[in-house]
């Protein structure tokens, strides 16, 4: 049985919490009395930005399952060791069948911890045949959690995979507070293993990018400034190098929504997001050029809509029914959580937008 690094936090699903139901989350976000702010589309309309439509997808983001060796306090997936939702080889084969002739240039593998899917390595090997750019979103600690994962840095190197690694901060106290005791120390160990495999250095084509998200109910700071600080501290204190830092705003979904409600911060946080609304960010939202695939093959505009079970507004609900050209120009499904992606410099799985 996979053990979590966090001994206190249980998934909402395990606790049978009402927020484990995506429909209940949507009802909270849809209620102006709960959030105290206008609808997202109302804000867009006031700026002349409606309807919000998608381009032809360039990025295919694939969630390989909700199982994870961590139970992070902010997790919008509600991932954890007790989650059993895992993408099957059959669903993977359905995805593989749709890639030839597609407009997709980048394949983005995420979870949970995607490496925990028992078909992960097989799937990566099959994806490599299409000669697309492949990214894996890793929580780092999975690499050192068990001997059978110790060779992941070499596996990644062999396939020239870009690594997007989660590290909330460059110090132990803030990282462990968000992700669990011992996470920072294990993350440092994993980063050193990736560096040893050739990742993160200036003269290497092996990309290692870190992801920062705030530990509380506030927006991330300037991405460039934080990147300089992360690089200086990690290099000086641990000898670690990496390429880029991506700042991501915490969206009011799942366990972070639970945190906001339980601490009485939901309305104030939503006001922060709305007051920081950036019209320029709406032009670069990841939902415009990304298609998100759930662990069961369901289709969504983005990873966040996936977790709220907000299906595509286009009659195609599963990968087996996918028609690429029909996706272009579709209207994107929104709710108040979308304010998180348009606040300040904007936020996406690739960091700041403006």
Integer angstrom CA distances of residue 47 from 119, 234, 256, 283, 347: 45, 41, 28, 12, 19
Q: Which residues pair with 277 in a beta bridge?
A: 343
Domain boundaries, the chain: 12-341
Assigned CATH for 12-341: 3.20.20
β-strand pairing of 290-293 with 299-300: antiparallel
CB count within 10 Å of CB 47 equals 12
- Write out pLDDT tens, residues 276-301: 999 999 999 999 999 999 999 999 99
**Any residues with CB less than 8 A from the CB of 20 and at least 6 apart, and which?**
11, 12, 13, 78, 254
> pLDDT tier at 251 (50, 70, 90 boundaries)?
very high
Closest CA to 137 of 213, 228, 42: 213
- Write out pLDDT tens, residues 206-233: 999 999 999 889 999 999 999 999 999 9
Residue 240 has pLDDT above 60, yes or no: yes
**How far is residue 73's CA from residue 11's CA, in Å, rounded to a whole number?**
9
**Any residues with CB less than 8 A from the CB of 116 and at least 6 apart, and which?**
2, 64, 65, 67, 68, 69, 86, 142
Mean pLDDT for 77-105 is 97
* Cis status, amide bond into 51, omega within 30 of 0: yes
> pLDDT tier at 124 (50, 70, 90 boundaries)?
very high
Residue 143: burial class (beta carbons within 10 Å; 0-12, 13-18, 19+): buried
Q: Percent of the chain at pLDDT above 70?
A: 98
For residue 1, the model assigns a pLDDT of 36
- Write out pLDDT tens, residues 317-343: 999 999 999 999 999 999 999 999 999
**How far is residue 254's CA from residue 139's CA, in Å, rounded to a whole number?**
18
Residue 3 has pLDDT above 50, yes or no: no
């Amino acid at each position: 049985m996979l053990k979590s690094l966090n001994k206190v936090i249980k998934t909402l699903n395990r606790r049978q919490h009402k927020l484990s139901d995506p429909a209940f989350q949507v009802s909270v976000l849809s209620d102006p009395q709960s959030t105290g702010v206008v609808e997202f589309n109302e804000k867009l309309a006031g700026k002349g930005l409606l309807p919000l439509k998608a381009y032809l997808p360039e990025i295919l983001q694939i969630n390989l399952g909700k199982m994870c060796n961590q139970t992070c306090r902010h997790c919008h997936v509600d991932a954890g060791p007790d989650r059993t939702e895992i993408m099957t080889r059959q669903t993977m084969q359905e995805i593989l069948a749709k890639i030839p002739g597609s407009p997709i240039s980048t394949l983005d593998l995420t979870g949970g911890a995607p490496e925990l899917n028992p078909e992960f390595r097989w799937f990566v090997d099959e994806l490599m045949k299409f000669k697309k750019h492949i990214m894996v979103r890793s929580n780092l600690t999975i690499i050192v959690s068990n001997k059978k994962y110790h060779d992941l840095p070499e596996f990644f190197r062999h396939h020239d995979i870009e690594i997007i690694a989660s590290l909330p901060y460059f110090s132990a106290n803030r990282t462990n507070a968000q992700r669990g005791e011992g996470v920072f120390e294990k993350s440092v160990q994993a980063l050193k293993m990736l560096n040893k495999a050739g990742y993160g250095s200036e003269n290497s084509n092996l990309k290692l990018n870190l992801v920062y998200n705030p530990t509380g109910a506030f927006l991330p700071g300037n991405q460039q400034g934080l990147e300089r600080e992360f690089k200086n501290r990690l290099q000086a204190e641990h000898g670690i190098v990496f390429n880029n830092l991506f700042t991501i705003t915490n969206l009011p979904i799942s366990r972070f929504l639970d945190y906001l409600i339980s601490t009485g911060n939901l309305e104030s946080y939503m006001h922060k997001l709305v007051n920081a609304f950036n019209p320029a960010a709406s032009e670069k939202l990841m939902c415009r050029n990304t298609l998100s695939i759930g662990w069961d093959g369901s289709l969504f505009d983005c990873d966040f809509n996936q977790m709220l079970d907000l299906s595509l507004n286009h009659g195609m609900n599963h990968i087996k029914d996918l028609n690429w050209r029909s996706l272009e120009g579709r209207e994107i499904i929104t709710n108040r959580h979308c304010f998180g992606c348009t606040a300040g410099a904007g936020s996406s799985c690739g960091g700041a937008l403006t």
